[in-house]
Amino acid sequence: MKTEVLSGLTVALALVPEAVAFAFVAGVHPLVGLYAAFIVGLITACFGGRPGMISGATGALAVVMVSLVAQHGVEYLFATVVLMGILQLIAGVMRWGKFIRLVPTPVMLGFVNGLAIVIFLAQLTQFQVPGTAEVSGHGMSGGEWLSGFQLYLMLALVALTMAVIWLLPKVTSIVPAPLAGIAITAGIVIIFGLDSPRVGDMASIEGSLPPFHIPMVPLNWETFEIIVPYAVILAAIGLIESLLTLNLVSEMTGERGGASQECLAQGAANVVTGFFGGMGGCAMIGQSMINVKSGGRTRVSGITAALFLLCFILFAAPLIEQIPLAALVGVMFMVVIGTFAWNSLKVLWKVPFVDAFVIVLVTGVTVAYDLATAVVVGVIVSALAYSWKNATRIHAVAYTTPEGAKVYQVQGPLFFGSAAGFAEMFNVEEDPSRVVVDFQNSRVADQSALTAIESLAVKYEAAGKRLELRHLSRDCHKLLTRAGQLMIDSDDDPDYGIAVDYGVRTGQLGAGH
């Protein structure tokens, strides 16, 4: 229990500058980001699909919100967050979270690598003179950089924090290493009065309990048209980032998470957040990594983190504002090192070219645009590559029986991508009067495949030749109409459903196989 509480305290300290920075990105008051981190973090910690996972205000959502706030104001943001949560609840009820299983392994590697780079870039603004930085989605801006003694001091404090985090686990595990790193670095800065940027230089985090607040927007069709596009995008980004983080944390802890349950928790959290003046949120991979590596494995750590954050806002703001940003940057740099899939650099030269390309592509798109776009692009490229690979696999082994019939033994799956190749395998004009097409080593996958078989039957019928179809499933027997009388029943006919079962299998094969 002590480890869980200390882990939660560490996460809460790391949440403060992130929530403030992302509030600046969205163009809202820092407390709007802090309230979101508290409410979303608390609800998902209690009811989410993966104990130990941390949620809060994120940059991926903030960059989408900024144009909405700039054009229509913060009240429209609150209404959008409520609708975003409703959409996520619908996704949870419909159990759409299971589709995250279709994300291939190369996309997951690109996701963690891209996110590690984004977390790293987001920390660079802390090396700028407070008040001069214009925070962007990835943390980069045109502010004035620290120089001279201040820069060297900042780098030294960051290095000190990272050294403590690296060395302490070799000595003891009583205190989470990130918490010890923050405490030691903060103690040195405060005791010796070192001139280094602190949390309070970003903004004051002092406030009250988040008040209940109904978004003050007109309840008409025009409002709905404004907020729906933003809500859909935010809901999609939030769920994709949350579910991918859930998979990553599950792999680290060796325990499965509930994808649909996470969708419901995220949705409920955002609905509540919208009514309490928060900017909404989703899972945070950086803080989740801090929690897991600090020993947080249960819901206690996530709940503790949210409650500590609320205590900071209500009671401990002056103390928390004295923490040097260098300490928190050091913690996040260690998260970057632990998050980046370094082994992916080795396998780039060993895996198929398409997989290596997808890893690099998803990494680049995550850094340049956003996570949701990167994952969608990666899945599409992987699916197209898989389809093309299977489309070129189809062929037939042909031979003539002693009775003079020609047999085509089809090899490889028959689906929309291979339908054209299937049609080109047959020579209707030169084939004998009896032709047998054997599907024992093939699989009929979709409507395009059925249409290709129908078309082949029509061609042989028009040429006055007899076509027999063997080893087709019962499902094919029902769906093929014109060719139905041409089928030859066998005791060893396969038994599978068109599209449904095959779709599941292709989804599994697409995940890095």
Q: What is the DSSP string of 171-229?
A: H--SS-HHHHHHHHHHHHHHHHT----BHHHH------PPPP-------SHHHHHHHHH
Q: Tell me which of 56-60, 74-78, 154-158, 330-334 is least confident.
A: 56-60
Helix (H) or strand (E) holding 443: strand 434-444
- Between residues 69 and 139, the one the model is more confident about: 69
- Between residues 38 and 448, the one the model is more confident about: 38
CA–CA separation, 354 vs 493, rounded Å?
35
Say what percent of the chain tops pLDDT 70: 90
**pLDDT average, residue stretch 241-254:** 86
Helix (H) or strand (E) holding 436: strand 434-444
CA–CA separation, 141 vs 21, rounded Å?
12
CATH for the 392-510 domain, from 3.30.200.20, 3.30.390.30, 3.30.750.24, 3.40.50.2020: 3.30.750.24
In the chain, the amino acid numbered 167 is L
Long-range pairs for 498-506: beta carbons < 8 A, 24 or more residues apart: 498/444, 498/445, 498/446, 498/447, 498/449, 498/450, 498/473, 499/445, 499/446, 499/447, 502/413, 502/415, 502/443, 502/445, 502/446, 506/386, 506/445
Say if residue 22's pLDDT is above 90. Answer: no
Q: How confident is the model at residue 504 (pLDDT cuts 50, 70, 90)?
A: very low
pLDDT of residue 493: 61
* CA angle, 169 then 173 then 177, to 5°: 55
Q: Is 302 left (phi over 0), alpha (psi -120 to 50) or beta?
A: alpha
DSSP state of 124: G
For residues 245-268, one letter each, b for 16 or more C-beta atoms within 10 angstroms of the residue's C-beta and e for the rest, the string is bbbbbbeebeeebbbbbbbbbbbb
Domain ranges of the chain: 2-129+145-345, 392-510
DSSP state of 128: B
**pLDDT average, residue stretch 242-256:** 85
Q: How far does CA 502 lie from the centroid of its chain?
A: 25
Q: How confident is the model at residue 129 (pLDDT cuts 50, 70, 90)?
A: confident
**pLDDT average, residue stretch 71-83:** 96
Say if residue 402's pLDDT is above 60. Answer: yes
Q: How confident is the model at residue 509 (pLDDT cuts 50, 70, 90)?
A: very low
Say if residue 140's pLDDT is above 50. Answer: no
Say if residue 495's pLDDT is above 80. Answer: no
**pLDDT average, residue stretch 229-233:** 93
Instruction: Specify the pTM.
Output: 0.76
pLDDT of residue 119: 83
- Between residues 478 and 92, the one the model is more confident about: 92
pLDDT of residue 225: 95
Q: How confident is the model at residue 71 (pLDDT cuts 50, 70, 90)?
A: very high
Q: How many CA atoms lie within 13 A of 483 on its CB side?
A: 25
pLDDT of residue 229: 93
Q: How confident is the model over 323-379, as pLDDT tens digits? A: 999 999 999 899 889 889 898 888 888 888 999 999 999 999 988 887 778 888 999
**Which residues, 6+ apart, have CB-to-CB distance to 337 below 8 Å?**
none
In the chain, the amino acid numbered 272 is V
Most confident option among 121-135, 347-361, 495-509: 347-361
**pLDDT average, residue stretch 163-172:** 92
Distances (CA, A) of 234 to 7, 64, 332: 29, 7, 25
Say if residue 55's pLDDT is above 90. Answer: yes
Helix (H, G, I), strand (E, B) or coil at 413: strand
The Cβ of residue 423 has, within 10 Å, a number of other Cβ atoms equal to: 13
Q: Tell me which of 143-147, 199-203, 353-357, 507-511 is least confident.
A: 507-511
pLDDT of residue 508: 31
